[in-house]
Amino acid sequence: MIISMKPHATKEQIDRVRERIEQFGYRVHSIQGDERVVIGAVGVGDVTACLEQLEAMPGVESAVRISAPYKFVSREFRQTRTRIRVNGAEIGGDEFIVIAGPCSVESEEQILRTAEAVARAGAKMLRGGAYKPRTSPYEFQGMEEAGLKLLRKAKQATGLAIVTEVMSESDVDLVAEHADILQIGARNMQNFSLLKALGRTTRPVLLKRGMSSTIRELLMSAEYIVAHGNPHVVLCERGIRTFETATRNTCDLSAVAVLNELTHLPVLVDPSHAAGRRSLVPPLARAAAAIGADGLLVEVHPAPENAISDGAQSLAIPEFERMMRDLVPYLRLWRETRAAAGDATM
């Protein structure tokens, strides 16, 4: 249910509405807007009776059902876009955010060199895997805590926010000590215990779409995080598995447009994992900006030919710099489109 309070409803009226909702057995989430408070309620109870009583309470303007199975992440619950501030940057706001860095942290020299280069080129955040989920148990699994410390050192050197993957409930607190955004990889999109644990953190979460997951399943996974207390979720389209073999995955750019209609959460595109080939990353990046993504997640390595993992899809530093320059006219269009839609203050 969504309960919209009147513009000048008092705190006492709002508190009484919250109490009445909880008496019916629902969990309550509130959004404090500029002019009014909107209260969301989820759970199992007598919806009809609850709605009737709420509509009669002082200070309530309207009370309606949420038809989508994902409640708190739907546009029904919140019409305005969610903006997530991280280290001075804002995902979902009036700036196209580029997150760049290597697939995995390999050494101090590698991560510092990459961080300095992508920062100069305009990236706002550094990505790098300290824990790496790999298909083969014999492949490099990441530097783990040592890698997290190197990422923190890169942040101190460049000021870039850190985005890195967390794979286990037991690692959430440790990763959160070092990272600004906790990433959920495609393989863990439906690891519900991990999603619940991330719902109890205060760090923003970057949730990647599973390789064979529908948009609805992606949104339901986001709902797990938000419903457990963390509203700071960023979605990421990273390509899905289809019958096509020319690319590593199929980059579903239509998902960006669909998600922008269905949810208020920001949406990023990862062209590196979608394509699997560095030559395809820049054109997919431009397409992501054109279709309305909030930013990019791109793999960059100072020497892709020597990368321990995903070298074929990683841009060399000069290639990343060229991609950022080529994005400029697309970002002008992006800003104009967003301003026209009323989603940005220019």
Q: What is the pLDDT of residues 183-195, one digit of tens each?
A: 999 999 999 999 9
Q: What is the pLDDT of residues 29-47, one digit of tens each?
A: 877 766 778 898 888 778 8
User: Are residues 133 and 278 part of one domain?
Assistant: yes
Beta strand pairing status for 84-86 and 89-91? antiparallel
Q: What is the pLDDT of residues 111-159, one digit of tens each?
A: 999 999 999 999 999 999 998 776 666 566 678 899 999 999 999 999 9
Q: Considering only CA atoms, which of 139, 138, 142, 140 is closest in space to residue 183?
A: 142
Q: What angle do CA 85, 281, 239 make, to 5 degrees?
A: 75
Please give the average per-residue pLDDT across 304-333, as a whole number: 96
Please give the average per-residue pLDDT across 248-276, as a whole number: 97
Give residue 14's pLDDT: 93
Please tell me whether residue 254 adopts helix, strand or coil conformation.
Answer: helix
Q: How confident is the model at residue 269 (pLDDT cuts 50, 70, 90)?
A: very high
Count of domains observed in the chain: 2
User: Are residues 270 and 200 part of one domain?
Assistant: yes
For position 50, which CATH number holds? 3.30.70.1140
Q: Does a structural domain hold residue 318?
A: yes
User: Are residues 97 and 160 part of one domain?
Assistant: yes
Contact 87, 93 (CB under 8 A): no
Range of the domain at 254: 84-340
User: Are residues 215 and 93 part of one domain?
Assistant: yes
User: For residue 202, what is the DSSP state?
Assistant: S
User: Are residues 277 and 199 part of one domain?
Assistant: yes
pTM, entire model: 0.89
* Helical (H) or strand (E) element with 100: strand 97-101
Q: What is the pLDDT of residues 195-233, one digit of tens each?
A: 999 999 999 999 999 999 999 999 999 999 998 999 999
Q: Does a structural domain hold residue 77?
A: no
Give residue 223's pLDDT: 95
Q: How high is the mean pLDDT of the chain?
A: 92
Q: Does a structural domain hold residue 23?
A: yes
List all residues 6 or more positions away from 154 whose beta carbon is below 8 Å from its beta carbon. Answer: 111, 112, 114, 115, 126, 128, 160, 162
